[in-house]
């Protein structure tokens, strides 16, 4: 395949309601989309980076800058063009390897090129990545609220919709009480887990161990992302399984965390680890070590959601992921919306992502656009 044009497009999408985590409150999602036009097809990528560097050190303008200044020029060089022509998306990570970090920017380029390649060949993302099921169980991530009754209303609504797993965002001061309240109201059968987004330290180990009474599936990323040893120590002090999100940025960091005993479950987010191909490697590594994985989310539009459904259809994704319906975050998605069917979401089967932005809706949410010709 030959690259012809790359389009960088920023969009702004209002959320159906505020989403508060231990690192801040989102009321809208600013997203970088990247479209590649090749000699045979068009492909779409969605960058996971949030507007601010609050979840990780990546942020929208930073990823846009590194794409324009380094990554796209590298692909446009004669060596870059040759490699992509010969090996498609599989050449991208290797070509960009000399540049440190910025995995979400690497991931968006790889995703768009993979989409174009697969659309050209008429193959789906799920088929390419190794998916084995037609639909995936859908979990939902629930933000922090001011008051417990509000939380219970929201959780009750999601359970009525059919979501099969609830994840509560927690932080110091909002942990035991919301978990206890959800258990008391909705019972012990609800699949329930919590996500701290690095809000605790190892000094909180005894407090976190009090969550053991509630039969949670896991505690996600309680400590800082670089505190892998701390997680290994915490895992010895709490019975609830530890799951890592922010700490796992590559198959190498996954291998280290696994051998240190820092986690028994991994949340795989393709953007955070540099792309869907690296995500599959982490899946394979986890399966080989007997760990469970699940697919995380970054409040994606239908584009990222489509690719996440494909990833979540791999056999090692044995826990329900943050693969919710479009309506969880957006009143109007830029693609045809993903909907919940008996607590599951159908994995797209069409070529590439299997979904495409609806031009009028996309234009309405676009805040800037630029083109780079090859």
Q: Please report, as ranges, the residues that interact with ligand OSB according to CB under 6 A.
A: 55, 141, 195, 197, 245, 296-299, 322, 324
Nearest to ligand OSB of 120, 333 (CB atom): 333
CA-to-CA separations, 317 to 99, 103, 136, 153, 313, in angstroms, rounded: 30, 22, 9, 29, 7
Q: Which of 189, 190, 197, 248 is nearest to 219 (CA)?
A: 197
Q: Which of 298, 250, 283, 252 is nearest to 45 (CA)?
A: 298
Is 35 one of the catalytic residues? no
Closest residue by beta carbon to ligand OSB: 297
Contact residues toward Mg ion (CB under 5 A) are: 195, 220, 245
3-state secondary structure of 37: strand
CB-based contact 360:327 (threshold 8 Å): no
Nearest to ligand OSB of 8, 345 (CB atom): 345
Min separation Cβ 50 and ligand OSB, Å: 6
Min separation Cβ 33 and Mg ion, Å: 23
- With CB under 5 to 8 Å by kind, the binding choice for 139 among Mg ion, ligand OSB, none is none
Q: Which two tokens stand for residue 130?
A: 């190794």
Is 169 one of the catalytic residues? yes
Q: Which of 312, 295, 339, 311 is nearest to 163 (CA)?
A: 339
Measure CA 104 to chain center: 10
- With CB under 5 to 8 Å by kind, the binding choice for 299 among ligand OSB, Mg ion, none is ligand OSB
- With CB under 5 to 8 Å by kind, the binding choice for 298 among Mg ion, ligand OSB, none is ligand OSB
Report the alpha-carbon distance of residue 64 to residue 263 in Å, rounded. 32
Min separation Cβ 219 and ligand OSB, Å: 12
Nearest to ligand OSB of 211, 345 (CB atom): 345
Strand partners of residue 192? 166
Nearest to ligand OSB of 1, 325 (CB atom): 325
Measure CA 85 to chain center: 28
Out of 35, 106, 167, 169, which one is annotated catalytic? 169
- With CB under 5 to 8 Å by kind, the binding choice for 216 among Mg ion, ligand OSB, none is none
Furthest C-alpha separation in the chain: 63
Min separation Cβ 21 and ligand OSB, Å: 6
User: Which active-site residues does the annotation give?
Assistant: 169, 269
């Amino acid at each position: 395949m030959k690259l012809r044009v790359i389009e960088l497009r920023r969009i702004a999408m209002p959320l159906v309601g505020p989403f508060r985590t231990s690192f801040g409150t989102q009321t809208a999602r600013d997203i970088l989309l990247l479209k590649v036009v090749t000699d045979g097809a068009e492909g779409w990528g969605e960058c996971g980076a949030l507007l601010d560097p609050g979840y990780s050190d990546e942020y929208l303008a930073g990823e846009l800058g590194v794409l324009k200044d380094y990554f796209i020029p590298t692909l446009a060089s004669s060596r870059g063009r040759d490699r992509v022509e010969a090996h498609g998306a599989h050449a991208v990570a290797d070509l960009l390897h000399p540049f440190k970090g910025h995995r979400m920017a690497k991931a968006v380029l790889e995703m768009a090129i993979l989409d174009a390649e697969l659309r050209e060949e008429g193959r789906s993302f799920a088929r390419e990545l190794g998916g084995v099921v037609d639909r995936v169980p859908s979990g939902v991530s629930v933000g922090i609220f001011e008051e417990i009754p509000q939380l219970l209303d929201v959780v009750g609504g999601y359970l009525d919709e059919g979501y099969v797993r609830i994840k509560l965002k927690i932080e110091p001061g909002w942990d035991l009480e919301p978990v206890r309240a959800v258990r008391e109201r909705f019972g012990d059968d609800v699949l329930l887990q919590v996500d701290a987004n690095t809000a605790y330290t190892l000094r909180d180990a005894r407090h976190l161990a009090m969550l053991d009474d509630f039969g949670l599936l896991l505690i996600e990323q309680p400590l800082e992302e670089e505190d892998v040893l701390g997680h290994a120590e915490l895992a010895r002090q709490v019975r609830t399984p530890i799951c890592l999100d922010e700490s796992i940025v590559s198959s190498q960091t996954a291998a280290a965390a696994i051998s240190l005993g820092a986690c028994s479950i991994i949340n795989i987010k393709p953007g955070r680890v540099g792309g869907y191909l690296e995500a599959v490697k982490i899946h394979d590594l986890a399966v080989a070590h007997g760990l469970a994985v699940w697919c995380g989310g970054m409040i994606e539009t239908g584009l990222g959601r489509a690719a996440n459904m494909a990833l979540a259809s791999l056999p090692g994704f044995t826990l329900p992921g943050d693969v919710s319906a479009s309506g969880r975050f957006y009143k109007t998605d830029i693609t045809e919306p993903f909907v919940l069917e008996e607590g599951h979401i159908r994995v797209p089967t069409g070529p590439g992502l299997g979904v495409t932005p609806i031009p009028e809706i996309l234009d309405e949410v676009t805040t800037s656009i630029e083109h780079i010709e090859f």
